[in-house]
Amino acid sequence: MNSISPSIEFFAGIPEELSDVRLRRDRNTGENSVKMTFVNIKAVQGANSFAKASFNDIRLVDSEGTISIEPKSSKLFWKDKGDDEELAKIEIVFDIGQSDHWDRFMRFMERYASANGFEFTAS
């Protein structure tokens, strides 16, 4: 296996820094849900025209390949800067229903966590 550094991208080739991730399992359906939060969005720094676009696709890239995800929701939070607005934060949510997809996602997250100093905490 090659040693690709795991990355999360809204736009190909621009890796983002994950600020927080929450994993949940619906007790009734057993479906897994993921909520990712990004604060310093590199894809829009210095180019607010990108910020007006919808963040409806995300790519998780690692040594196994690329996982393309279409979130079920994405929320953009804006800072008021007088006559202008600046993107403050993005929250995306997506569901993972199949166990093999969940296993692949968790392998990605383990690699991403290891490369970026994240730690898993169960609630």
In 3D space, the residue among 26, 8, 38 whose CA is nearest the CA of residue 105 turns out to be 8
Name the pTM for this structure.
0.83
Tokens 């809204």 belong to 10
Q: What is the pLDDT of residues 83-102, one digit of tens each?
A: 777 788 999 999 998 999 99
Segment 3-17 mean pLDDT:
90
Integer-rounded Cα Rg, in Å, for the chain is: 15
**Cβ pair 14, 5 in contact under 8 A:** no
Q: What is the pLDDT of residues 17-76, one digit of tens each?
A: 999 999 999 888 888 999 999 998 887 765 554 544 557 789 999 999 999 999 999 998
Q: What domains are there in the chain, each with its CATH number?
A: 7-114 (2.40.30.220)
Q: Which two tokens stand for residue 43?
A: 């894809």
Q: What is the pLDDT of residues 102-117, one digit of tens each?
A: 999 999 999 999 999 8
